[in-house]
Structure 1
Amino acid sequence: MERALPPKRFTTPSITPFKGDFDPESHLSHFKSAMILYKADDALMCKIGNFKEFAIILTKEYTSYKTVRKHADHLFNLRKKLKESLQDYLRRFKAEKANIIGCNDQVASSAFKKGLPTKHELYRELAITPSQTLAEVFARAERYVLWDDDRIAAKKPDHPTKQASQKNNKFEQKA
């Protein structure tokens, strides 16, 4: 098949060449998005029969790099780790949820609660008032994060200089 002549004022789009080291469908989607501006036909988009044929060949060749899409039930596998802060668990949960397209908020709310230890005060509060939106669950978790920060700050000594001066006073009194 002959290559099509590019339209007037056509400039080749700036696209990172595909090296076979990531999802081929993502690369094809990016390429099509760039070429749609030019209303490009198959002959302009590739050197074989048609673009659809090219896409099938490329996808089959690099199928091992295809990104596996996660489903909402994946969130039920997330658990707050023993020494993990609530803030870190919340951040990790939100990142995982963001990777799930069309995730139902009610499912995400249930999964977030299920990932908390049953002895955690936030778990107890979420269990008592179960009909909350995901935004409300996250807002409540953020309040607990602030509360945890306050408790940690309260456990720390006021100022190291005060302690040092108190020790010096004790030493002077003994002498």
Structure 2
Amino acid sequence: MSRALSQISKSPFTRRIEAGRLPQQFTQPTFTMYNGWTDPVEHVSHFNHRMVVHLKNETLMYKVFPSSLGLVAMRWFDGLREGSINSFKELTRVFGSRFVTCSKVPQPLDSLQSMAMGKGETLKTYSNRYWEMFNEIDGDFDNVATRTFKVGLPAKHD
């Protein structure tokens, strides 16, 4: 236990970062805690949006980021080598690398084009399923989306 406590008392941040001062009037926003199972890019994006007025203050960004980590991610953070992190960009890069298996992979356009309303499925259920899939596709396919939605409908839904 003492070895584990010794490890977590060491900072992965360089001395330059550790020496940085936090603003006196800083009030930490509430974050969605990263649980180790969701997309790390989405987590960093959420963190950045919550900290948007402080993006230029790298010291603050480094020091606050660990407070957005849940148990699994905090264990990873505590295991970082002492003095190994020199920038917020580097911190988010190693964070993303560690949790890359949780990254969302955009769906291909084909997955949308192959959708059709199932037998006995309501129009509302089909519509919800279709637009949920549409939101998982990267790119600007608005014109294709409307056409393929209609193609997937049975003829009775003219």
Is TM > 0.5 for Structure 1 vs Structure 2?
yes
Q: Which moved more, 1:86-95 or 1:44-53?
A: 86-95
1:64 pairs with 92, 97, 101, which one?
101
Shift of 1:102: 4.4
TM-score by length of 1: 0.59
**Contact 2:55–2:61 (8 Å) recurs in 1:** no
State how many pairs are aligned: 121
1:150-165 paired onto structure 2 within 5 Å: none
Distance 2:129 2:41 in 1: 26
SS of 2:96's equivalent in the other structure is helix
Unaligned segments of structure 2, at least 5 residues = 1-13, 64-84
Distance 1:39 1:75 in 2: 37
Q: Residue 17 in 1 paired to residue 65 in 2? A: no
Hey, which bits of structure 1, 4+ residues long, moved more than 6 A? none
1:132 corresponding residue in structure 2: none
Q: Which moved more, 1:37-46 or 1:97-106?
A: 97-106
Q: Residue 121 in 1 paired to residue 137 in 2? A: no
Distance 2:123 2:52 in 1: 45
Q: Residue 84 in 1 paired to residue 100 in 2? A: no
Which structure has the greater CA radius of gyration? 1
Q: Percent of aligned pairs with the same residue?
A: 31
The one-letter code sitting in structure 1 at the alignment partner of 2:156 is: E
**Contact 2:48–2:55 (8 Å) recurs in 1:** no
The one-letter code sitting in structure 2 at the alignment partner of 1:121 is: K
How large is the RMSD of aligned CA atoms in angstroms? 2.2
Q: Residue 44 in 1 paired to residue 44 in 2? A: no
1:159-174 paired onto structure 2 within 5 Å: none
Change (3 A) 1:39 1:86: closer
Unaligned segments of structure 1, at least 5 residues = 126-175
